[in-house]
Amino acid sequence: MPRLKKRTLDNGLRIVMERDEYAQKSSFYVGIRVGSVDEDDNVSGISHFIEHLLFKSNKYRSAWEINRDMEYNGIDWDAYTTTSFTVVSETAIPSKISKAIDIAYQMIENNDYDSSEFENERNVVLSEINMYKNDFKQLMSDLSTQALFKDTPLEKPTEGRVEVISRVTKNEVEDFKSRFYVPNNMAIIITGNFNEERVMKKIERTFGKMKPKKVEHPNLFKIPIENKTDIQIRKIDNLKNGYLGISLKVPGFARDYKDAISLYLLEYILAGGFSSRLYQKLREERGIGYEINAIFENYGPVGRFFMYVEGLEKRRLDEALDVMLTEIEDIKNGNLKEDEFKGMKTLLLSRIYNKIDDINERASMFLFKEMGKYHEDYDPRKITRYIKDTKRNNVIDVVNKYFLDEYVITAVIPV
């Protein structure tokens, strides 16, 4: 296992490096701890808007020059916004990582945008939000999140709201960015093949010049792991098939990573593959639905466990709901055979092994730790060991501990 090095600059910027001399490329990730949980209702979606603006003209390069210099130097890039942090990622051959750092710094440090580009990007973000409105699986999921986390910072949509993005001003966006895009609120991760000394000098000459500021975040540990029954149904004209979801609050990796690992395994037992319980009971035995899934989402201190079926007939809604709840009760009663448990554990481990050596995956897992998604005692490099150490009874125990017959049920169905 490559050696992990950590360093904190005088301005509070945290740097994590894991060098692999056999890798063909380098990954450079910057995480900024700001997302929808940090937004008031009057600026809902502003973090997502800023993510878009990062690739627009700044005082160093025009938007076209940013894209040209990335592509002509063979730098693959991406950016995304989550509930609690924003990520800029770059992957390059080792000789071009210095250029990648320069470009990332200029995008992040800049706080003055061209007015015409700002308005153009506003329209792009609004188009993205409106696109989600036509995604009925996303609507089902959003109804779940809003009901589960009502009156908490997690109820806000990451992409934002049309009415907010339509009126937010350039000054408001730039002021918000200046509050959170500061070094003591950021972490840099470098994985793959790179020269440690040169990379550190480049970071010190760029990100090391940024000035720290005091930053405050909502305390998501205050969100209780308590559930209550709620039913949210949306009826849509001209919809042919429906969507049904069951969800509940559970602990995230930052609160109890051992329970979180068990919930991760439960996800596979219920719907991790074609031999999984819900796939067999719904689709194979009854012909209900097309896509069947279970997802454990980790928000750090708290998480969401979400089971859903997509493409079912309206008349079979109650039948599908009964099947899903029955399978949960079955596991609660201890009906989880050792061969089923071991088989799904093997499947999960196999999929993790497929990607654990990827430099981007490794950069992401180190970044998630720095952004507060994992408990301080949790080592993301040991994920396979944690899974191997989890027993059948651990899964049964977490189902009995958290699945207490209080669920949020969401459905999007034809009129």
Phi, psi angle pair for 298, to nearest 5°: -105, 115
Structure tokens at 256: 């109890």
Q: What is the C-alpha separation between 61 and 58, in angstroms, rounded?
A: 6
Please give the C-alpha separations between residue 182 and each of 56, 106, 174, 332, in angstroms, as whole numbers.
19, 13, 13, 47
**Are β-strands 230-236 and 408-414 bridged in parallel, bridged antiparallel, or unpaired?**
parallel
Tens place of pLDDT for every residue, the chain, 415 residues? 678 999 999 999 999 999 999 999 999 999 999 999 999 999 999 999 999 999 999 999 999 999 999 999 999 999 999 999 999 999 999 999 999 999 999 999 999 999 999 999 999 999 999 998 889 999 999 999 999 999 999 999 999 999 999 999 999 999 999 999 999 999 999 999 999 999 999 999 999 999 999 999 999 999 999 999 999 999 999 999 999 999 999 999 999 999 999 999 999 999 999 999 999 999 999 999 999 999 999 999 999 999 999 999 999 999 999 999 999 999 999 999 999 999 999 999 999 999 998 999 999 999 999 999 999 999 999 999 999 999 999 999 999 999 999 999 999 999 9
Note the pLDDT of residue 193.
97
Which value, in Å, is the radius of gyration of the alpha carbons in the chain? 23
Closest residue by Cα to residue 283 from 307, 260, 306, 310: 310
Report the length, in residues, of the chain. 415
Note the pLDDT of residue 134.
85
Q: What is the C-alpha separation between 125 and 226, in angstroms, rounded?
A: 34
Q: What is the C-alpha separation between 408 and 405, in angstroms, rounded?
A: 10
Same fold, 4-209 and 222-414: yes
Pick the CATH number of 222-414 from 3.40.1710.10, 1.10.530.10, 3.30.830.10, 3.40.1410.10: 3.30.830.10
Give the predicted TM-score (pTM) of the model. 0.95
Domain range list for the chain: 4-209, 222-414
Q: Which residues of 95-125 are buried (b: 16+ CB within 10 A; e: fewer)?
A: ebbbbbbbbbbbbbbbeebbeeebeebbeeb
Please tell me the CATH superfamily of domain 4-209, with its number: Metalloenzyme, LuxS/M16 peptidase-like (3.30.830.10)
Note the pLDDT of residue 3.
85
Q: Identify residue 61 by its one-letter amino acid code.
A: R
Chain centre distance of CA 184: 22
Segment holding 31, helix H or strand E: strand 26-32
